[in-house]
């Protein structure tokens, strides 16, 4: 199997007259854990959303598993079914309990029946340590638990790529650890992940690559050790502002 | 406990007040409650007609409501505008005028059955309000959940059916019950086209027996009972379907 999961080629995106992504290009190999860092408004989230076409880029090419992603219903559906997306605000379906939230994509996209789907969903929930919360509704779960359901929902489709959009930013500091632990476990299992985050410890200890963005451009694409020891003025400035905030 | 005491108190005071009014009235007006017993068949016939009319109109009104809500929330401008014009027209027109327009107006061009004239008047009219209720329900579903559905790979119709509609429906239940109560009350207006509903039957009893007060009091009691039962069932349903 080809080792490259994702190729982003000269991606541009603007909203009105504001250019948010300028010629962004990078590749992701199987097993990569890529952290995307940068200040607010640098274009990180927009970039993540163009990968599965939640936002359509204005120009540029995206190749996923060797196939060019184009704006066609079937193509987008098949790409999305192979890319798990974990949202900052969890975005669980409120009227479904945890197990049905996880089973939903299996039923609707993989055409499984609910009984089979729930069986698989239960396994996915066990993997994120929520075996005892399967019948709880989102409102009956803590933020950290909701986010782990969100991760289980992404995992259950056995995706080739997992996208995380600031997965711990909406959480109480005391709940960040449980979500980070799950993500660390996934990286050890060899899952390919792209994580937009403000968690420097995750970037330093778990990621094997860091992309640093500013003003819609990739300023640096390197390994964590080089990144945290970089001489670049922008990166130093960013790291200082982050450590001050902490 | 507080609630029980307060309610019992209100019931006692209210019953006392009604009794005083009733007995002081009965000194000048000889109440003749025999009408209720003698003409119960007419009331039953009226009840049957009102029930049938309300149920059939409700079915069509719900259907109209869904269509209007879909038009109003559509991404296509022409559809949005069509929905807006519909709602504008039917919400700014008295129901009585709609009934007259459909039965006597359109009726002079096409032959329209009384019952169906009543059904369509009510359905078109209430459909505009129900459409707005559904629209508000659809718009209240968090955008993030819709996005999550899209990110999973669901087609947009699947997002609508499995994520948007179930929640929009639950959100719509309380105002929808209110609208159904309105529909029952508004159905009394069809008596102007001599459709034998409850109101028309009560008027009949009143004119035939000269016991108008008794006939209309019975009529008021029946409407109050019907709408109260519906509100009660609605509250139960709302609680049962509530998202924890």
Q: Which residues pair with A161 in a beta bridge?
A: A83
Judged against a pLDDT cut of 60, whether residue B194 lies above it is answered with: yes
**Residue of A77, A91, A139 lying closest to B148 (CB–CB):** A91
B145 lies within 8 A of chain A by CB = yes
pLDDT category, B209, cuts 50, 70, 90?
confident
pLDDT category, B6, cuts 50, 70, 90?
very high
Tokens for B136? 């508000």
Helix or strand (DSSP H, E) at A187: helix A173-188
Judged against a pLDDT cut of 70, whether residue A40 lies above it is answered with: yes
Question: What per-residue confidence (pLDDT) applies to A1?
Answer: 53
What's the whole-model pTM score? Answer: 0.83
Q: What is the pLDDT of residues A77-134, one digit of tens each?
A: 999 999 999 999 999 999 999 999 999 999 999 999 999 999 999 999 999 999 999 9
B155 lies within 8 A of chain A by CB = yes
Chain B residue with minimal CA distance to A88? B144
Q: What is the pLDDT of residues A48-92, one digit of tens each?
A: 999 999 999 999 999 999 999 998 899 999 999 999 999 999 999
Question: What per-residue confidence (pLDDT) applies to B37?
Answer: 82
Which residue ranges make up each domain of chain A?
A: 91-158
Chain A residue with minimal CA distance to B241? A95
With both helix axes pointing from N to C terminus, report the angle between B198-209 and B212-241 in degrees, rounded to the nearest 10.
Answer: 160
Question: What per-residue confidence (pLDDT) applies to A245?
Answer: 67
| CB contact set of B61 (below 8 Å; sequence gap of 6+) | B122, B123, B125, B126, B127, B130, B183
Contact A128, A151 (CB under 8 A): yes
Mean pLDDT (whole number) for B114-136: 96
Question: What per-residue confidence (pLDDT) applies to B121?
Answer: 95
Question: What per-residue confidence (pLDDT) applies to B163?
Answer: 96
With both helix axes pointing from N to C terminus, report the angle between A98-108 and B143-152 in degrees, rounded to the nearest 10.
Answer: 50
Interface contact B150-A77, CB threshold 8 A: no
B109 lies within 8 A of chain A by CB = no
Mean pLDDT (whole number) for B76-97: 96
Q: What percent of chain A has pLDDT over 90?
A: 92
B30 lies within 8 A of chain A by CB = no
- Computed on alpha carbons and rounded to an integer, the radius of gyration of chain A in Å comes to 18
Q: Residue A99: name the closest of A124, A74, A65, A72 by CA.
A: A124
Interface contact A108-B162, CB threshold 8 A: yes
Question: What per-residue confidence (pLDDT) applies to B31?
Answer: 87
Question: What per-residue confidence (pLDDT) applies to B112?
Answer: 87
B142 lies within 8 A of chain A by CB = yes
Residue numbers in A near B167 (CB within 8 A): 94-95
A46: left (phi over 0), alpha (psi -120 to 50) or beta: alpha
Angstroms from A166 CA to nearest CA on chain B? 14
Q: What is the pLDDT of residues A134-165, one digit of tens each?
A: 999 999 999 999 999 999 999 999 999 999 99
pLDDT category, A246, cuts 50, 70, 90?
low
Residue numbers in B near A139 (CB within 8 A): 243-244
Q: What is the mean pLDDT of chain A?
A: 94
């Amino acid at each position: 199997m080809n080792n490259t999961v994702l190729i982003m080629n000269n991606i541009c995106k603007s909203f009105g007259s504001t250019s948010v992504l300028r010629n962004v290009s990078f590749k992701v190999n199987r097993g990569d854990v890529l952290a995307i860092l940068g200040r607010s408004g640098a274009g990180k989230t927009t970039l993540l959303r163009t990968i599965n076409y939640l936002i359509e880029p204005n120009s540029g090419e995206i190749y996923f598993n060797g196939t060019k992603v184009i704006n066609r219903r079937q193509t987008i559906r098949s790409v999305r079914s192979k890319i798990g997306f974990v949202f900052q605000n969890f975005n669980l379906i409120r009227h479904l309990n945890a197990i049905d939230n996880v089973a939903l994509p299996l039923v609707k996209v993989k055409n499984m029946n609910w009984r089979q789907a729930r069986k698989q969903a239960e396994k996915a929930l066990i993997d994120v340590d929520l075996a005892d919360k399967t019948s709880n509704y989102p409102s009956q779960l803590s933020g950290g638990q909701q986010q782990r359901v969100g991760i289980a929902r992404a995992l259950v489709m056995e995706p080739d790529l997992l996208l995380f959009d600031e997965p711990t930013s909406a959480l109480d500091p005391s709940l960040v650890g449980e979500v980070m632990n799950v993500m660390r476990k996934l990286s050890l299992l060899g899952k390919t992940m792209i994580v937009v985050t403000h968690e420097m410890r995750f970037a330093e200890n778990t990621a094997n690559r860091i992309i640093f963005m500013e003003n819609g451009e990739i300023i640096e694409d390197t390994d964590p050790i080089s990144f945290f020891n970089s001489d670049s003025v922008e990166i130093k400035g960013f790291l200082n502002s982050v450590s001050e905030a902490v | 406990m507080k609630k029980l005491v307060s309610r019992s108190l209100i019931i006692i005071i209210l019953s006392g007040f009604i009794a005083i009014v009733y007995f002081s009235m009965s000194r000048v007006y000889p109440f003749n409650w025999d009408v209720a017993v003698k003409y119960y068949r007419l009331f039953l016939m009226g009840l049957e007609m009102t029930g049938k009319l309300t149920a059939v109109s409700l079915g069509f009104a719900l259907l109209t409501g869904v269509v209007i809500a879909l038009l109003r929330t559509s991404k296509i401008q022409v559809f949005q505008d069509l929905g807006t014009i519909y709602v504008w027209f039917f919400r700014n027109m008295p129901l009585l005028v709609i009934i007259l327009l459909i039965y006597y107006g359109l009726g002079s061009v096409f032959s329209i059955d009384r019952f169906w004239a009543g059904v369509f008047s009510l359905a078109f009219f209430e459909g505009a309000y129900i459409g707005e209720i559904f629209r508000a329900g659809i718009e209240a579903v968090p955008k993030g959940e819709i996005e999550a559905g899209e990110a999973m790979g669901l087609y947009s119709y699947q997002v609508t059916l499995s994520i948007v509609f179930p929640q929009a429906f639950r959100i719509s239940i309380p105002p929808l019950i209110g609208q159904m109560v309105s529909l029952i009350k508004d159905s009394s207006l069809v008596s102007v086209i001599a459709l034998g509903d409850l109101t028309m039957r009560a008027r009949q009893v009143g004119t035939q027996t000269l016991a108008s007060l008794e006939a209309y009091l019975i009529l008021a009691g029946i409407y109050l009972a019907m709408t109260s039962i519906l509100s009660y069932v609605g509250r139960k349903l709302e609680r049962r379907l509530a998202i924890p």
